Amino acid sequence: MAPGLDGPALRDAVFAEKDVQPIRSVDDWACEGIFESDDELHEFLDWVAAERKANLG
């Protein structure tokens, strides 16, 4: 990486070095196998919602 870079130039240099590609659609975020069932997914989402509410104030 070139020394002395900052801001967007540094970001672009790091992205180029790591061969990072932009997300072009939500399908790029899709992945399989994180949750074993819909029930496990819903349990996780319920936990996230409860934590957000608990940390509001």
Instruction: Decide: 1 and 13 in contact? Cβ < 8 Å.
Output: yes
In this predicted model, what pLDDT tens digit does every residue of 25-53 receive, in sequence order? 888 777 777 888 899 999 999 999 999 99
Let me know the angle formed at the C-alpha of 7 by 17 and 22, rounded to the nearest 5 degrees.
50
Residue with tokens 């967007």: 8
Question: What's the rounded Cα separation, in Å, for the pair 4 and 13?
Answer: 11
N-to-C CA span, the chain = 43
The predicted structure's pLDDT at residue 1: 58
pLDDT beyond 70 at 56: yes
